[in-house]
Amino acid sequence: MYKRARMGMGYLAQEPSIFRKLTVEQNIMAILETLAISSAERKKRCAELLDELELTRLAKQKAMTLSGGERRRLEITRALVTNPSFIMLDEPFSGVDPLAVYDVQQIILQLKERNLGILITDHNVRETLSVVDRAYLMCQGRILVEGSSDFLVNDERAREIYLGPQFSM
């Protein structure tokens, strides 16, 4: 994980990855401590990240008290601490309510606008296809279909093997 981060890759794990007994701010600072930057720069970067992902109001709150969506937002923030050029999101919509799914989608769209490369693995097809430029449908370890979201949704093989005939966006 450390080597990937140094190579400019961020990672969001499917399972919870926050320090529950630390505050939101402390969770971010814990990752910032791994960077070779001054204390003042760490504090500045932490404030920027809190603001960017709309966590400032929760900065002093213990992570264990966060809702599923707030926790996911913090986890994404932690993945962005190293300022990656590419981020891998493993099941980013897992374990969050519909409102939080929308929030995560908006964050992904913001990251796309920053030209951050994003790889998403998720079983929540609608949520994922609504934010990606290109999708790959895999079956038994092989790429079955690839293309734009519209292409996948309308592909006969994708419908037959995975999406089903009634699937719609």
CATH number of 2-133: 3.40.50.300
The pLDDT value recorded for residue 97 is: 87
Chain center to CA of 112: 11
Residue listed under structure tokens 């929760």 = 58
The pLDDT value recorded for residue 63 is: 96
pTM of the model: 0.85
Q: What whole-number distance in Å separates Cα of residue 3 and Cα of residue 9?
A: 9
Q: What whole-number distance in Å separates Cα of residue 88 and Cα of residue 166?
A: 30
- Work out the number of other CB atoms within 10 angstroms of the CB of residue 82: 20
What does the pLDDT profile of the chain (169 residues) look like in tens digits?
Answer: 556 556 678 998 888 789 999 999 999 999 999 899 999 999 999 999 999 999 999 999 999 999 988 999 999 999 999 899 999 999 999 888 888 999 999 999 999 999 999 999 998 999 999 999 999 998 889 999 999 999 999 999 999 988 999 998 8
The domain segmentation of the chain, as residue ranges, is 2-133
Residues linked to residue 40 through DSSP beta bridges, in sequence order:
none
